[in-house]
Amino acid sequence: MAITANKRPGKPADIGSASGDDAPVAASVAALITDAPVPHPTLWKTFAAMMAREFRVLGRNAPSTFIRAVLQPLLFAFVFAYVMPKIGSGFSVAPSAAGGGAINFATILVPGLMGSMFLMQGMFGTTMPLIMEFSWQRTIEDRALAPVPIGVLAIQKITAGAIQAFIGAAIVFPVVYWVHAPGQGPHVHVNNWFLLAVVMVFSATLTASLGLWLGTVVDPRKIQMIFAVILLPITMLGCVYYPWSALHAIRWLQIITLINPMVYMTEGLRAALTPGLGHMALWAILLALVGGTLVFGTMAVRTFRNRVIN
């Protein structure tokens, strides 16, 4: 240990002479300083590069991402639109408006299943990576040192999660279209594409904001709790399997579920996909989806910044 004083080497670096063959070469290390491109970062360039990084990772994990995204709707559609009708547990709801004829469960399930996918994919897309990035190696510091405010990094994470949520929900369409018992296909008709787009975009950003917020406020060691205490009740009581209006029979539940963000997603999708089935007032749906995105998004940006900056 005891190295004597004045050992300070003034020697020219002779890198590589005594070291292994993968050792760096002095001249090329020096060139890193003398021959370097001049960077001109802007907020948008950095944001775009971060999004490109997300897509590179998603592309690399495409098989597992796809399986994760497709398995849930596949199983749901298989059980509810194929198995149940086949074994005679047919389920139908009388149409509230002049829809004509009984409505099969697949029709009710499409909006509900999409809402559930928004939640699952939006949270998987934000909460889970965050748990990794805030774990003991704190790899979040890598992205946090990019030349943008920390809030932009949070918004980028919401955007990336929202895109995954959007894709995850869209996968529901082909699955329920193909997987059902004969004559049990969903009756879905889009009259208002704009409404569908608005509902889907804000459902995606709402779940991603919610995911980022939870990922920053919940202790990583208790993350399983999120799934038991938050994800499960939100899904089960999110009007996935029945329209909100059908809850009028249980008034107290109908009122309590109004705090559940997923209710507005599924009801918004019903308004866009199966308007004949009846749905909550459109203004309430849009207010909750847009307002919820803003509220949870703002909270998430703040808590994210507090977690990144010590």
Partner 1 sequence: MTTVTARAKDQGSPGVTSAIRTEGLRKTYKSSRGDVEAVRGIDLDIPQGEFFGLLGPNGAGKSTTIGMLNTLVAPTGGRAWVAGYDVTKDTVAVKRRIGVVTQNNTLDMQLTVAENLEFRSRFFGLPTGVAARRAAQLIDAFGLTDRKNAMADQLSGGQARRLMIARALVHQPDVLFLDEPTAGLDPQTRVNLWDILEVLHAQGQTILLTTHYMEEAEALCDRIAVVDHGKILAEGTLDALLADSGAQTVVTVRYEEQVPDGLAERAGLAERPGVTKVEADGDQLRVFAADPEGVLGDLVSIGAANGLHVRDATQAKPSLETAFLALTGREYRE
What's the CA gap between 141 and 145, in Å, rounded? 6
- Give the whole-angstrom CA distance, residue 235 versus residue 210: 14
Among 98, 100, 136, 252, binds partner 1 (CB under 8 A): 136
Q: Quick check: 13 binds partner 1 (CB under 8 A)?
A: yes
Q: Compute how many residues bind partner 1; rule: CB under 8 A.
A: 63
Asked whether the beta carbons of 226 and 141 are under 8 A apart, the reply is: no
- Picking from 86, 82, 62, 63, the residue whose alpha carbon sits closest to that of residue 73 is 82
Q: Which is nearer to partner 1, 5 or 98 (CB)?
A: 5
Q: Which is nearer to partner 1, 89 or 139 (CB)?
A: 139
Contact between residue 285 and residue 275 where contact means Cβ atoms under 8 Å apart: no
Task: Decide if residue 62 touches partner 1 (CB under 8 A).
Answer: no
- Interface with partner 1 includes 63 (CB under 8 A)? no
Among 123, 148, 204, 234, binds partner 1 (CB under 8 A): 148
Q: Which lies closer to partner 1 via its Cβ, residue 115 or residue 129?
A: 129
Among 120, 158, 172, 308, binds partner 1 (CB under 8 A): 308
68 CA to centre of own chain? 12
Which residue carries 């005891």 as its tokens? 2
Q: Applying CB under 8 A, which part among 42-50, 163-171, 190-198, 212-220 lies near partner 1?
A: 42-50
Do the Cβ atoms of 52 and 158 come closer than 8 Å?
A: no
Least separation, in Å, of the C-beta of 272 and partner 1? Answer: 35
55 binds partner 1, rule: CB under 8 A? no
Residue ranges of E strands in the chain: 92-93, 103-104
**Distance, CA of 46 to CA of 56 (rounded, Å):** 15
Residues that bind partner 1 (CB under 8 A): 1-9, 12-15, 19-20, 22-26, 28-42, 45-46, 49-50, 52-53, 56-57, 60-61, 136-150, 308-310
